[in-house]
Amino acid sequence: MNADAQIRMTAATEQEGRSAKLSLNGLAKQYGSVHALRPMDLNVATGEFLTVLGPSGSGKTTLLQLIAGLAEPTAGRLLIDGQDHTWTPAHKRSIGVVFQNYALFPHMTVRENAAFPLEMRRVPRGELERRVAAALEMVGLSTLRDRFPTELSGGQQQRVALARCFVYQPALILMDEPLGALDRKLRETMQIEIKRLHRDTGATIIFVTHDQEEALAMSDRICLMNHGRIEQLGTPQEIYEHPATLFAADFIGISNVLHGRFGPAGLETADGTLALPPGTAGSGEAALTIRPEHVELRPDGALRGRVTESVYAGSEFRLVVTLGSGATLVVRRSSGQAVPHLGEEAALGWAPERARLLFS
């Protein structure tokens, strides 16, 4: 992460008036000549919901293992609540982890699974029962306390895993793709559930996923990773509307990318000259990115092509328009708007301020 990004991140945390629950200072992990995680600086504020997002091999799992104490760093420091825990064993870090496979004990009831962390910490019986009851009520499982995991649905099992994690009030909660095994409808329900639990408890959560829509829907901030480093760090809206790199623009949602070269009138592409966003300039090669919802079908559009695909998605149509050069643009039209048919010509345009100019 560059210095400007680090300054913006630190300033955002300070403006919110929250202390840093987790601080990584130059934390890195290397396996021989392979840099699984390059030196990283990151602050996670108390009570924040931070999503670590990225493709396979980007360093998400390595980062999670270092925070949890399941792997030792090659360099750098890790602080929790201002205390150095770089070399603290995993069982002494007061970190809760929720896994994708739930990891419930099949021979224990819902109540017993939720109570297990407190049993291990020798919490007095009265306090244990009170906290278990509160945790099960929080996740809506009070009436199922005597059932075994095999008698529960996937969503109910995930709720047990959440209750078991929240019950002992860890300093930090790590969620490792906890919704990946659920179907789409249940996953969306659990997203709302986890957001509610985060809001009600004020817990600090680091949520690891490769699902872009999940990250946009749930996060206070997103830490987008690529090749073992932070590609971009910011709010979901910042990363979606103002991607800092071509990778960020392409990975988060759908972006139309038009490559070209600077000319006297704008960006010269194989399909025509495009107006630059206000306040931008440069030389050499660059790319203009524009989100599908900002592309308009209009007679005076700068680009012309032919509709080669049309997909109905309930609330919208998604059109694929192929330009003369062979490049394609995705256009979104709400169901109430007129939509051209397959094979028809279409002229495309957009407000220049809606586009983003990025350099390779």
What is the arithmetic mean of pLDDT over 328-340?
Answer: 90
Which residues make Cβ contacts (< 8 Å) with residue 170, sequence separation at least 6? Answer: 94, 95, 96, 203
Structural domain ending residue among the three candidates 189, 212, 245: 245
Supply the CATH number for residue 201's domain.
3.40.50.300
The amino acid at 347: A
What's residue 158's pLDDT? Answer: 87
Do 141 and 282 reside in the same domain of the chain? Answer: no
Do 152 and 288 reside in the same domain of the chain? Answer: no
Confidence of residue 278 (pLDDT cuts 50, 70, 90): very high
Structural domain ending residue among the three candidates 196, 219, 245: 245
Q: Is the pLDDT of residue 329 over 70?
A: yes
What is the arithmetic mean of pLDDT over 161-176?
Answer: 90
What's residue 360's pLDDT? Answer: 67
Q: Is the pLDDT of residue 43 over 50?
A: yes
Do 233 and 260 reside in the same domain of the chain? Answer: no
Residues 205/210/213/216 CA torsion (nearest 10 deg): 40
Confidence of residue 122 (pLDDT cuts 50, 70, 90): very high
Structural domain ending residue among the three candidates 218, 245, 272: 245
Do 81 and 224 reside in the same domain of the chain? Answer: yes
Block residue for tokens 């297990």: 116
Do 9 and 125 reside in the same domain of the chain? Answer: yes
Highest mean pLDDT out of 174-178, 212-216, 219-223, 275-279: 219-223
Do 225 and 329 reside in the same domain of the chain? Answer: no
Q: What is the span of the domain harbouring residue 349?
A: 254-358
The amino acid at 78: L
Do 103 and 203 reside in the same domain of the chain? Answer: yes
Do 29 and 77 reside in the same domain of the chain? Answer: yes
Q: Is the pLDDT of residue 193 over 90?
A: no
What's residue 179's pLDDT? Answer: 84
What's residue 180's pLDDT? Answer: 80
**pLDDT, averaged across the chain:** 90
Q: Is the pLDDT of residue 106 over 50?
A: yes
Number of domains the chain is built from:
2
Dist. CA 302–CA 114, nearest whole Å: 60
Q: Is the pLDDT of residue 277 over 90?
A: yes
Contact predicate 226/53, CB 8 Å = no
Do 84 and 227 reside in the same domain of the chain? Answer: yes
Which residues make Cβ contacts (< 8 Å) with residue 64, sequence separation at least 6? Answer: 52, 70, 174, 176, 206, 208
Residues 95/101/107/113 CA torsion (nearest 10 deg): 30
Contact predicate 46/20, CB 8 Å = yes
Do 199 and 271 reside in the same domain of the chain? Answer: no
What are phi and psi for residue 112, nearest 5 degrees? Answer: -70, -35
